[in-house]
């Protein structure tokens, strides 16, 4: 058999022909010198922008001291991170990992193990939602279930029951004696910036309590201040979950994730039931602590709300001015989506011509995820670039 011609880099990404040399706050500088306003933030990762001085200094200081030790030892930086996450959330205990998918894997394992430890091992199925995205591991693609993620990867992991997002009756109908948990993104990200409908999460919380199920939120994309609250569900006025995965914004660009849970939900997670070689190592924990230093400072979230309102008002004005291009404005705070009429990837490409980076999502949505440290003037600049982008699609 002839060898297929394959690039040295596995071509699983359809990459834009653009490479960057450095980042300065909300701006990315390409290798050819062009400057781009970054309304993607590495897909909700660089929440504090690029080269944030506090993150750079923390990383440099920690790098000179200690990068990694095994989790068989005490890790003070990790303990501090866990204490702070517990102090700022519903959670009573935290497991650290390296990515969003791993955080959601931990959530799934926690839920199954909870029922096992409580003498109900048959409760091992998790209800998940159409349009969801939880990562690219076997469990997380099985959880999300869409053919786009799972095709060719069978056999999938059993134990997930998929229902339409927002449909309470379908959810009630699928809950049975094997159900362990309900797992969802309070605001679907890859699915097209779809916040849970008003009251939906309250109803889901009530169903969980009624049937003895754990409620799991995937806050990997909408968490860490993006909505103007530490967690996206808080911005929806929704009740707390029992278990929650976070990642992306937690490290501001350094790979780190975490699974947060109540003490009750954690009851099955005894010594040796789960682990991670790199999870929460001193370098990752130091950087995540530095991110928390910034986002948990008094007034930070209030500022995100003000910035998010400014962006939303500007987007609504744009939608009114360009009804032939923008169909709908979605989202909260600084996680916004434009449902556009042209192909979203083409919209994003035209945006780049005007110096703006955005990220396509499902439902033909263009995601706007600027760093939380953006200034009002930079938001206005982004809106002007979007205005020019829309004008480029005029009939």
Ligand X SMILES: *Cc1c(COP(=O)(O)O)cnc(C)c1O
Among 23, 25, 42, 100, binds ligand X (CB under 6 A): 100
Looking at residues 246 to 265 of the shown chain, list those that interact with ligand X (rule: CB under 6 A): 247-248
Please state the closest distance from residue 230 (CB atom) to ligand X, in A.
16
Instruction: Spell out the alpha helix ranges (H) of the chain.
Output: 41-44, 53-65, 76-87, 100-117, 138-144, 147-150, 168-174, 200-211, 232-235, 282-295, 300-321, 344-353, 376-391
Closer residue to ligand X in complex, CB, 81/246 = 246
- Token pair for 98: 């390296």
Q: How far is the CB of 84 from ligand X (least distance, A)?
A: 21
**Cα distance between the two ends of the chain:** 51
Closer residue to ligand X, CB minimum distance, 220 or 374: 220
298/296 Cα distance (integer angstroms): 6
User: Which of 221, 285 has the CB closer to ligand X?
Assistant: 221
3-state secondary structure at position 358: coil
- Closest chain position to ligand X (CB): 100
Specify the residue, 49 or 135, whose C-beta has the smaller distance to ligand X: 135
Residue of 46, 99, 142, 358 that binds ligand X (CB under 6 A) = 99
Residue 105 binds ligand X, judged by CB under 6 A = no
Give the tokens for residue 178: 């094997």
Q: For ligand X, which is the closer residue by CB, 189 or 279?
A: 189
Nearer to ligand X, 132 or 326 (CB): 132
Of the pair 214, 244, the CB lying nearest ligand X is at: 244
Burial 365-382 (b: 16+ CB within 10 A, else e): bbbbbbbbbbeeebbebb
295 vs 249: CA distance, rounded Å: 10
Cβ partners under 8 Å of residue 373, min gap 6 = 25, 26, 47, 48, 49, 52, 294
Q: Judged by CB under 6 A, which of 42, 189, 282, 360 binds ligand X?
A: 189
For residue 219, the minimal CB distance to ligand X (Å) is 8
Task: Quickly tell me which residue has 């992306």 as its tokens.
Answer: 248
382 near ligand X, judged by CB under 6 A: no
Judged on CB neighbours under 10 Å (0-12, 13-18, 19+), 54 is middle
C-alpha to C-alpha distance for 45 and 372, rounded to whole angstroms: 10
Residues 115-134 that bind ligand X (CB under 6 A): 133-134
Among 77, 161, 185, 234, binds ligand X (CB under 6 A): 185
195 binds ligand X (CB under 6 A): no
Task: State whether the Cα torsion 76-77-78-81 is positive or negative.
Answer: positive
Number of residues interacting with ligand X: please give it, by CB under 6 A.
Answer: 15
Residue 149 near ligand X by CB under 6 A: no
Distance separating alpha carbons of residues 201 and 186, to the nearest angstrom: 8
> Interaction with ligand X in 200-239: which residues (CB under 6 A)?
218, 220-221
Q: Nearest distance from residue 183's CB to ligand X, in Å?
A: 10
Interaction site with ligand X (CB under 6 A): 99-101, 104, 133-135, 185, 189-190, 218, 220-221, 247-248
């Amino acid at each position: 058999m002839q060898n297929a011609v394959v690039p040295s880099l596995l071509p699983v990404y359809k990459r834009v022909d653009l490479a960057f040399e450095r980042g300065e706050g909300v701006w990315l500088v390409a290798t050819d010198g062009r400057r781009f306003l970054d309304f993607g933030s590495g897909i909700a990762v660089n929440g504090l922008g690029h080269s944030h001085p506090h993150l750079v200094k923390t990383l440099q200081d920690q790098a000179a001291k200690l990068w990694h030790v095994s989790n068989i030892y005490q890790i003070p930086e990790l303990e501090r991170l866990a204490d702070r996450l517990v102090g700022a959330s519903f959670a009573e205990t935290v497991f650290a990992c390296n990515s969003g998918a791993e955080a959601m894997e931990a959530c799934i394992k926690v839920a199954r193990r909870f029922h096992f430890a409580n003498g109900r091992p048959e409760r091992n199925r998790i209800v998940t939602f159409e349009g969801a995205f939880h990562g690219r591991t076997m469990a997380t693609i099985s959880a999300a279930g869409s053919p786009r993620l799972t095709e060719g990867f069978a056999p999938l992991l059993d134990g997930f029951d998929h229902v339409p997002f927002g449909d309470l009756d379908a959810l009630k109908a699928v809950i049975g004696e094997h159900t362990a948990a309900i797992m969802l993104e309070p605001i679907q990200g890859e699915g097209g910036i779809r916040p849970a409908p008003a009251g939906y999460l309250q109803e889901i919380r009530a169903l969980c309590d009624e049937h003895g199920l754990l409620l799991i939120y995937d806050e990997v994309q909408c968490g860490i201040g993006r909505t103007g609250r530490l967690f996206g569900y808080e911005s929806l006025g929704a009740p707390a979950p029992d278990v929650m995965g976070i990642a992306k914004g937690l490290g501001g660009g350094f790979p780190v994730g975490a699974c947060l849970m109540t003490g009750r939900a954690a009851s099955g997670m005894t010594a040796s039931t789960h682990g991670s070689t790199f999870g929460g190592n001193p370098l990752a924990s130091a950087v995540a602590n530095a991110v928390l230093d910034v986002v948990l400072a008094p007034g930070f979230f209030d500022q995100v709300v003000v910035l998010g309102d400014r962006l939303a008002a500007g987007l609504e004005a744009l939608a009114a001015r360009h009804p032939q291009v923008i169909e709908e404005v979605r989202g909260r705070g600084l996680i916004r989506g434009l449902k556009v009429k042209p192909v979203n990837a083409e919209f994003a490409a035209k945006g780049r011509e005007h110096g703006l980076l955005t990220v396509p999502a499902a439902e033909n949505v263009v995601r706007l995820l600027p760093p939380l440290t953006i200034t009002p003037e930079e938001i206005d600049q982004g809106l002007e670039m979007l205005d020019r982008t829309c004008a480029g699609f005029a009939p």
